[in-house]
Amino acid sequence: MPAYSGSLTPSPPGQYTYTLLDAFGPELLTQTSSLLEEKLIAYIGHGVLRLAALQYNTFYNSSYSCLANGQYKLWGTADVGPTSPGTPTAFNGTSENLTFPNLYVDYGARSNNRDLLASYAVQVGSASSIGVSYVTSYYNNPSFFNDLYEGSLFSISQSSAVSETTNETRLHFDTEVSDKLSLGLSWYFAKGTYHVPVPSNPNYWTNSVFPYNAPRFGAVWQASPDIAIRAAVGGGYALPVLYNLTGYSLQCAAGSCSETVANLNLKPEETFGFDVGTDVRFRRHTVLSFDLYRTNLYGQFFTSNTESTFNGLPLYLTQYGNLGTSRYEGINLDIRHDVPSGYYWRGTLGFTRGYVVSVPPGFYNNPGVPCTTCVNQYIVPGTNFNSAAYGGGVPYASASAQLGYRRSPGKYADLLATYYGSNNIYNTSKAFVELDAHAGYALTRNVSLLATFKNITGVYDQSIQNFSPGYAIPVIPGAPPNPYPGAGYELPYGPRSIIVTADFRL
């Protein structure tokens, strides 16, 4: 890209200052999917046998290239290039003639998923049941990536032989000890197997096997006809995504290179937690629910990022790893008033805190003072998740309030306000409130019209901020500043929209 020239006036208030690298044009997408599902239910003896099979296949292809050379209106700041590296030139609507690199990217991927489920549950006496279930699943995700940059072709692919197979067995027993006490006990056994190539020798393949088992226990005490006390404790696990183990090969574009390094030592996440809560009914149609929970997460997945060089270009290396112990804890409050006809309403409030308790030995790569070779320094034990990156100094808070009127079960209208705290999933630096409306009208017993009005106030409507190297960054008027440009990105909540559907029931 040639050196820029233009207005040196600052960017408009509320807009960012960036280094403009290059810009991609419209993205061409091709997507297809197929789903085949079969179910069988049979009553055998005093029990129920269930069999189910599912096959789900998808194909995705995406291709895009840089924008055509020509006149563009700019906001923000660009580096003037090799004539004066690091010297910014600011724009606030100036039209400039831009030239972009010769870049073309073509990416495609298939996913093939096959599941088989079998379960049998039988009644024992008048108040108990016992059962067993088994699920086996196979998944693979072959892909290709072609990247043409200034006449040089980078091409990578993942073989269809790379696969993930999981087998899960669950034994359960449920009983009503009395009219007031119900108990449930289950034991969960799982095994995940990955068939992947060895990074040091792609011609040699290996199977990584991850077994796991944990108990789960729950109880409900009906203290009175209007008060129920609940408690649950147990564990579970989550397997890593397939490409977390295999990685992605080196690829270069727009003046930088990146590589996702394979990690065959990656372990599943394991959890053990508890939840206690209560449901209290006031009058006939009003219920208050309260829950308190804490879950310890062992080996939580995280992304380790380091920088290097390759043929004189910046090289960004990514590898997925496991933390030591993490913890999620919080409280939820829910009160709702629901009636067959008349005014109905609901309010919710929740506070969640997530933080790292400990990290594995050597996690910071031999830290020193000053530390010149440290990695993963953005992960600090005791710090609330996301608080360092997005300026949130408190645990994540969320809330909602809904008010509506129902004329009859199929005819209603309501308004819903949702509050997202500062550590929200949209990575905005400030909390915000989003407003929706819903309506339904039953024309007949089997035909209904439904309408949803999304994001009525237009909050964070299309405010996309992307800080990844190699991409142009659109500057959106009124978008809040990010305290760490280049460290993350904001997601659009979604545009104002009206969605109308017809529901037919036979």
Domain boundaries, the chain: 323-506
Say whether pLDDT at 392 is over 70.
Answer: no
Q: How confident is the model at residue 312 (pLDDT cuts 50, 70, 90)?
A: confident
What band does 486 get if pLDDT is binned at 50, 70 and 90?
very low
Number of Cβ within 10 Å of residue 266's Cβ equals 20
Question: pLDDT digit string (tens) for 6-54?
Answer: 444 444 555 444 444 445 667 788 999 999 999 999 999 889 999 999 9
Query: Residue 394 has what pLDDT?
Result: 57
What's the pLDDT score for residue 39?
A: 94
Q: Which two tokens stand for residue 269?
A: 């996440």
The DSSP secondary structure of 416-461, one letter per residue, reads EEEEE-TT-TT--SS-EEEEEEEEEEESSSSEEEEEEEE-TT-TTT
Give me the pLDDT at residue 74, please. 67
DSSP letter (8 states) at residue 11: P
**pLDDT at 75 exceeding the cut of 70:** no
Q: What is each CA distance from 62 to 152, 156, 264, 489, 494, in whole angstroms?
A: 19, 15, 29, 22, 22
Q: Interior CA angle at 428 toward 424 and 430, to 5°?
A: 90
pLDDT of residue 87: 54
| pLDDT of residue 463 exceeding 90 | no
pLDDT band at 186 (very low <50, low <70, confident <90, very high): very high
pLDDT band at residue 315 using 50, 70 and 90 as cut-offs: confident
Residue whose token pair is 């924008």: 67
Cβ-contact 118, 94 below 8 angstroms = no
Highest mean pLDDT among 75-89, 177-191, 428-442: 177-191
Kindly list the distances between the CA atom of residue 181 and the CA atoms of 124, 174, 218, 221, 462, in Å, as whole numbers in the listed order.
17, 11, 11, 5, 51
What is the per-residue pLDDT for 370?
A: 58
For residue 290, the model assigns a pLDDT of 96
Mean pLDDT along residues 473-480: 36
Model confidence band, residue 224 (pLDDT cutoffs 50, 70, 90): very high
If phi over 0 gives left and psi between -120 and 50 gives alpha, with beta otherwise, what is residue 291?
beta
Which pLDDT tens digit goes with each residue over 52-73?
999 999 999 988 887 777 777 7
In 3-state terms, what secondary structure has residue 145?
Answer: strand
Q: What is the mean pLDDT of the chain?
A: 80
